[in-house]
């Protein structure tokens, strides 16, 4: 009868966790920011403490929540379109080489085109409104979803497909039992990366063309030289992006738990 493993010491558990190092890095960053602002800062560079106070004050303003609502409309709709359209497109490209032969050039165009350059084209063709913002968020984020979904399908071991065919599995069963489960980790990675791109697109279109939402709030505070509120708005945007990425990472862990179990079992 084997003895139970001894519990790790509390100090060892703390050292093995990530959050102490993250807190230490954040404290160092805040200290450097505060010292630099006091030495070299001025009207346009508030200190860390001043920015933190402005961020807390902003959370009590109705103007911020209205801007969040307006911006997140475009974010939710655009990113939803990117996922709904991008995941099937990436899977089809990964599965059927002939389809990829025709569509790969357009995917490469999306990968190399500076997205800020197509904002005027979208505004001229769709108009200044929710539609143009939704479309730009979708264009910003769909590339990551398609590329990672395609990669996930390509990473599936071809011998598994051949083995399934030898046992009489049809195309539908191969998709349901092999391709989709095997590609799911890469698909979830694409979704997580796409969220960051979607937030970027949301803010860029509001800054460059449609002065509304959080981008409009940034432009307003910049014009009024209210630097603490300007930095506070940026902090809130970053906090929202990190929260969304954390939710996507949590969903990725839950949906792909079997993949980590197989990897751990194979390493033993």
pLDDT of 81-110, one tens digit each?
999 999 999 988 888 888 888 888 888 888
Token duo for residue 162: 């051949």
Cα dihedral sign for 84, 157, 249, 140?
negative
Question: Are 138 and 81 contacting, i.e. CB atoms less than 8 angstroms apart?
Answer: yes
Angle CA 41–208–61, to nearest 5: 60
Tokens 């005027």, located at residue? 120
DSSP 175: I
**48 closest CA partner among 227, 174, 243:** 227
- pLDDT of the residue at 13: 62
Question: Are 147 and 220 contacting, i.e. CB atoms less than 8 angstroms apart?
Answer: no
Question: Residue 61, Cβ neighbours under 10 Å: how many?
Answer: 13
Q: What is the pLDDT along the chain (268 residues), one digit of tens a residue?
A: 445 555 555 656 655 567 677 788 888 988 888 888 888 767 778 888 888 999 999 998 899 999 999 999 999 999 999 999 999 999 888 888 888 888 888 888 888 877 777 777 777 777 777 888 898 899 889 989 999 998 888 888 777 877 877 777 777 787 778 888 888 888 999 999 999 889 988 888 888 877 778 888 999 888 888 889 999 999 999 999 999 999 988 888 888 775 555 544 444 4
> Could you report how far apart the first and last alpha carbons of the chain are, in Å?
21
Angle CA 104–105–111, to nearest 5: 90
Q: What is the pTM of this model?
A: 0.80
Question: Which phi and psi (to 5°) does residue 8 adopt?
Answer: -70, 145
Domains of the chain with bracketed CATH: 47-261 (1.10.3720.10)
Question: Which phi and psi (to 5°) does residue 91 adopt?
Answer: -65, -40
DSSP 129: S
Question: Residue 27, Cβ neighbours under 10 Å: how many?
Answer: 10
Query: Which residues are CB-neighbours of 236 under 8 A, at least 6 positions away?
Result: 55, 58, 59, 64, 68, 214
Question: Are 198 and 21 contacting, i.e. CB atoms less than 8 angstroms apart?
Answer: no
């Amino acid at each position: 009868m084997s003895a139970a493993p001894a519990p790790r010491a509390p100090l060892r558990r703390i050292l093995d966790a990530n959050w102490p190092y993250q807190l230490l890095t954040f404290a160092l960053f805040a200290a450097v920011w505060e010292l630099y602002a006091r030495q070299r800062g001025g009207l346009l560079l508030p200190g860390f403490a001043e920015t933190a106070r402005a961020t807390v004050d902003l959370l009590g303003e109705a103007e911020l929540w209205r801007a969040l609502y307006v911006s997140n409309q475009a974010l939710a709709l655009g990113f939803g379109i990117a996922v709904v359209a991008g995941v099937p497109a990436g899977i089809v490209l990964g599965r059927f080489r002939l389809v990829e032969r025709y569509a790969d050039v357009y995917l490469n165009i999306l990968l190399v085109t500076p997205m800020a350059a197509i904002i005027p084209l979208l505004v001229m063709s769709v108009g200044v409104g929710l539609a143009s913002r939704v479309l730009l968020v979708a264009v910003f984020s769909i590339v990551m979803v398609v590329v990672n979904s395609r990669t996930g399908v390509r990473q599936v071991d071809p011998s598994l497909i051949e083995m399934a065919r030898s046992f009489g599995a049809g195309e539908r069963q191969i998709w349901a039992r092999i391709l989709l489960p095997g590609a799911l980790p890469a698909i979830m990675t694409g979704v997580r990366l796409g969220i960051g791109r979607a937030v970027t697109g949301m803010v860029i279109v509001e800054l460059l063309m449609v002065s509304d939402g959080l981008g409009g709030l940034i432009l307003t505070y910049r014009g009024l030289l209210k630097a603490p509120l300007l930095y506070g708005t940026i902090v809130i945007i970053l906090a929202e992006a990190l929260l969304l990425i954390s939710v996507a990472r949590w969903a990725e862990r839950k949906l792909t738990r079997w993949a980590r179990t197989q990897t751990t079992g194979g390493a033993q």
